[in-house]
Structure 1
Amino acid sequence: MRSDEAEARLGWEVALPQSGTSLHGVRMAGFRDRAAVGLDMHVLPQPAVIVVLGLGEEPLSVEDATGHRPLRSLVAALSPGPARIRGEGVECVELRLSPRAAYALLGVSPRELDGSVTDLEDLWDRDGRRLCERLADAPAWQERLTLVDAFLTGRAARAPAMAPEVAAAWNTIVARRGRVRVADLAASCGWSRKRLWARFGDQIGLTPKRAAMLVRFDHAARALSAGAHPVDVALECGYVDQPHLHRDILAFAGCTPTALAGRATTAG
């Protein structure tokens, strides 16, 4: 995704909460297509769950392995598979949830997202609809973002806690940019590989190995988008060689490293 500053230059109104958010692992921003440039976004896997609360009159069009679907609000899993989102007159609040925050706030095991883009109404039902109605009626972005923050805080108070061992394993994967061995993760938390595999998958939504691959892919994708050469990216991100980088980019993004570097991942 482009930075908020880049979004603004492209004709998007971007609003950030003035006082930050109340919950760790939650980032939010409001977006409005003020220049009618339209949204055409490739959804890339990343180490965060993305929630979009749609406020516009028209639903977003989601194209993925299941076909075309109109969705007003959606959730993109950590590794959603190749997907594309289009829309006109888009106005929304976007949430980026760490796996720990997603486990607490979504109301289901991340495993149930099934690596896809999901209708948020399937998860939050009437509570989600009421929230979107209140957001649409709110006159200003800061009021909207405050409403979302309060809604999430309320859900967090009733949420299950992620196992400390799972959270520690995820933090280690992120800190080491995906360069970890599952056996070492299991040993560090005193669990067997089998137990770590099961608990991690239930609470993160991916196996530890897949999570490490995702984090490494994310660093590679960012470097490629910044203009780095694939050979340098492969070396910097810990791939055995460039063909291994090519294979992972193709598996996660459905395109080559060169295509990924030139792909627009946001509106415009």
Structure 2
Amino acid sequence: MDIATLIGLIAGAVAIIGGFLWEGGQITGLFQVTAAMIVFGGTIAAILVSYPMHRIRTIPAALRMAFSKSTNEASVWIEDIVDMSMLARREGVLALEQKVIEHPNAFLRNGVQMVVDGTDQPVVQQILELEVDAKEQKYDGYAKIFESAGAYAPTMGIIGTVMGLVQVLGSLTDPTQLGPSIAVAFIATLYGVASANLIFIPIASKIRSKSEEEISTLEMLLEGVLSVQNGDNATLVRKKLETYVLKHTIPQMNRKGQAHERSE
């Protein structure tokens, strides 16, 4: 699990509830079933209206993406590609078939397999770019659902507050109860704004962040496959691929690269 996501959600809830209690509020005042029903039920209904069912079914996958621990293995894939480039230069691309057949990365495996099969480079590039675009669109769809929820939730909160005020003002028989009743009505607004800014929008942002990381890795792998097909020198391959990874991983890969060059 991505511990940062979990910590962020817990910290946000603690900050809001803790601040409320610090000012002398009672925690029971923050829990209103009716307000929760209006805000969250209304938000779910709006999402169901906004998206077709096949998009709704992707929500569990989107949540898994947001909460799962990031396993960026770009440095590992770079080493694999550099090894492939050296092998291809020494023995030809056909020598890669046995090496790539059991590779754990399906994108790299399929790309190199097309190279081994003698597929023309423009075709290899087109197919891999289409796969990258498809991944990007899928992740964009994940994020948009939660962004929409983040837009709907505050509005549903306002609706709940207005409904509560209408009820309060319509049955105003005891002026001493006006303040507490209005306070309860505004809980709906709190639910809407808090859920949007602490849950829905941050989850969408986390999905986009992880999507950018994965797409960058796929683009790196695509460049690596084309470099292997071109027969590029291993040093040149490494330099090109390192531009796709985070700066703090580059020193480690450079050390590995020097070891590979010496062994070559």
TM-score by length of 1: 0.24
Q: Rg larger in 1 or in 2?
A: 2
Higher helix share: 2
Higher strand share: 1
TM-score by length of 2: 0.24
Say which structure, 1 or 2, has more relative contact order (CA 8 Å, 6+ apart): 2
